[in-house]
Amino acid sequence: MTDLLYSEEEEALRAAVRDLLTDHCDAPGVIARTESDTPHDLAAWKALADGMGLAGLLIPEDKGGQGATHREVAVVLEELGRAVAPVPYLTSAVVATEALLACETDAGLLAELATGRRIGALAVALSVGPGGAYKVVRHEGGRLHGELTGIADAAAADVLLVPADDGGLYAVDADAVTVTSQSSLDLTRPVATVTLDGAPGRLLGDAEPAVRRALRAGAGLLASEQLGLADWTLTETVRYLKDRKQFNRPVGGFQALKHRLAQLWLEVVNLRAAARGAADALASGEDADVAVAVAQSYAASVAVHAAEEAVQLHGGIGMTWEHPAHLYLKRAKADSIAYGTAGAHRAALAELVDLQAP
């Protein structure tokens, strides 16, 4: 039976992560960082990974990790979503880690990712979903050649996991490639171009199963990040509308707005169940394809709706650079493409539950 609740340990984990992010990732700091040379907050990352050991949650203890499950990772991601924290957690501690776990050949690299001292990135465009086609580089004479675009958090990565045309997945040091930041819609999870010009790579294993497994976990757990994002925008909008007065009364007392916020609350409640369902299914391995597809068919519309309502219902202040609402809108909109659109996940679901297209 799917367990859709949070355990006491998970709630304690949530509280600890929230405390840490309150100290490290306040909104003005995150906004200022987006325009700096280092869009990623590596101090926050060190605190999460090294200080709390959260980068190794998915990695078994005998491989240097914490031996936890997707359920705990999902709780961490909820909190990271609430703070739109610019840390490479989903990309390194989930997606790159899952790809390495699928290969099971490189215990050393896995242990390094577990401590967070090295950051990994799967060199597959962020827009690719679990069943989607992805670009590969050319493998020739033991060297890799090609250009890959839309690679999330590549600018922060120490090692890239690169699929090649021989069917292999290769570990490539970031020093051996050129990473060029792309001007990104999501300022807190920027994408970059990775250019390989004869870079040496170490073969990890077959790319196909590793990429599939990594993207499925990424998609399923992204729903928890989207939940955190939606929950924060709803809470903050409700708080603001209780406080903001126009026409001699709190704006939140107008029924037109009350109904919109109540509808949004209902969506967030639904997303919580869907996201917990996906996390639990990934942890148990039961029904995971369907649970992930359901969560990702639903999550994007809720996160985008919540962020759009936050911008609209904050009125003029919601349109400013100074107010953080735009960070959430940009993240939510980019997330609606990340690891496959809702439409792509619905198409996958059509096959999984036998509701075939005409």
Q: How far is the CB of 327 from another protein (least distance, A)?
A: 23
Nearer to another protein, 18 or 346 (CB): 346
Q: How far is the CB of 283 from another protein (least distance, A)?
A: 16
Q: How far is the CB of 349 from another protein (least distance, A)?
A: 6
Nearer to another protein, 66 or 297 (CB): 297
Q: How far is the CB of 271 from another protein (least distance, A)?
A: 8
Nearer to another protein, 194 or 241 (CB): 241
Partnered with residue 122 across adjacent β-strands are: 161
Nearer to another protein, 154 or 238 (CB): 238
Q: How far is the CB of 130 from another protein (least distance, A)?
A: 16
Residue from 90, 123, 358 nearest 223 by CA: 90
HSE of 146 in the Cβ direction (CA atoms, 13 Å)? 18
Nearer to another protein, 153 or 309 (CB): 309
159-163 and 120-122: which strand pairing?
parallel
Q: How far is the CB of 217 from another protein (least distance, A)?
A: 19
Nearer to another protein, 164 or 313 (CB): 313
User: Dihedral sign, CA of 35, 36, 39, 45?
Assistant: negative
Q: How far is the CB of 330 from another protein (least distance, A)?
A: 25
- 2/273 Cα distance (integer angstroms): 10
Nearer to another protein, 314 or 330 (CB): 314
3-state secondary structure 227-275: HHHHHHHHHHHHHHHHHCEECCEEHHHCHHHHHHHHHHHHHHHHHHHHH
Footprint of another protein (CB under 8 A): 2-5, 238, 241-242, 249-250, 252-253, 255, 257-259, 261-263, 265-266, 269-274, 276-277, 294, 297-298, 343, 346-347, 349-350, 353-358
Q: How far is the CB of 221 from another protein (least distance, A)?
A: 16
- 122/99 Cα distance (integer angstroms): 8
Contact call for residues 204 and 169 (beta carbons, < 8 A): yes
Nearer to another protein, 37 or 249 (CB): 249
